[in-house]
């Protein structure tokens, strides 16, 4: 008579074949690839990067601050920037025209945009690197106002374990940025007689890392610089459109 053993022999698991292993790996690989594609898509989206930058700014307490950079004095200025994610950064220039509002609209601001002083308006716009094409400038030709006021050089150094490496070097004048200003809007000023603006001189992608931006003023000492205060900054471009 056949007796059933009290302890049946344990069946040994069959060794997994190469094809079986490949199927398991393929399932895991699909999830890895999907994660990478989603992460890349989010990182490639301007809105996502902008939200990430805003989050970093909130956590670190960072806010754009303009540093005085007077023109016509051949001064140098160094600004350090840390980029936490590849994003569009801009060289911002703040320009404040001393008595700029009264020169445009009169001592008592009695004039409006329709009868403002065309010469003062043209000079301010050209100084900021703005084109006068299609603007009301008293019937005068735009070329009447075109003149180079300033020139400065910006060199960006990427910092690493083995020192600094030049990331880019570029010269800027109010004429070579004309029509290329990335953004422009008014800026607050403590003097109601003055006019102040913030303009994006140039913008560029800045990969993750730490950078040093060196500004070198090569402008001639012209009288117009006594009527204006200038400052610069490097900051991430924030745009949720």
pLDDT per position as a tens digit, 69-80: 999 999 999 999
pLDDT per position as a tens digit, 54-95: 444 444 444 568 999 999 999 999 999 999 989 999 999 999
Residue 58 domain-assigned (yes or no): no
| One domain for residues 22 and 121 | no
Residue 111 domain-assigned (yes or no): yes
| One domain for residues 76 and 105 | yes
H or E, element range at 104: helix 100-105
Token reading at 223: 């009288």
Domain range spanning residue 38? 18-51
| One domain for residues 29 and 86 | no
Number of H helices, E strands in the chain: 4, 9
State the Cα–Cα distance between residues 144 and 122, nearest whole angstrom: 9
Q: Domain tally for the chain?
A: 2
CATH number at residue 132: 2.60.120
| One domain for residues 88 and 186 | yes
Residue 97 domain-assigned (yes or no): yes
| One domain for residues 111 and 223 | yes
Residue 8 domain-assigned (yes or no): no
pTM of the model: 0.73
């Amino acid at each position: 008579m056949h007796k059933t053993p009290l302890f049946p022999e344990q069946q040994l698991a069959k060794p997994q074949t190469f094809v079986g292993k490949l199927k398991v790996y393929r399932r895991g690989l699909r999830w890895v690839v999907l994660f990478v594609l989603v992460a890349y898509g989010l990182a490639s989206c301007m809105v996502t990067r902008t939200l990430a930058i805003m989050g970093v700014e909130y956590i670190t307490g960072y806010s754009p601050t303009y540093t005085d950079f007077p023109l016509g004095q051949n001064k140098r200025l160094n600004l350090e920037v840390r980029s936490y994610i590849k994003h569009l950064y801009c060289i911002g220039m703040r320009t404040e025209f001393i008595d700029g509002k009264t020169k445009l609209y009169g001592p008592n601001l009695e004039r409006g945009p329709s009868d403002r002083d065309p010469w003062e308006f043209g000079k301010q716009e050209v100084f900021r690197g703005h084109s006068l094409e299609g603007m009301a400038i008293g019937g005068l030709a735009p070329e009447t106002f075109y003149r180079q006021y300033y020139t400065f050089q910006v060199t960006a150094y990427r910092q690493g374990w083995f020192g600094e490496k030049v990331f880019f070097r570029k010269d800027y004048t109010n004429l070579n940025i004309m029509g290329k200003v990335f953004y422009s809007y008014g800026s607050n000023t403590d003097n109601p007689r003055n006019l102040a603006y913030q303009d994006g001189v140039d913008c560029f992608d800045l990969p993750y890392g730490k950078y040093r931006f060196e500004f070198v003023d090569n402008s001639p000492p012209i009288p117009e610089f006594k009527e204006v205060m200038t400052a610069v900054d490097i900051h991430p471009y924030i745009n949720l459109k």
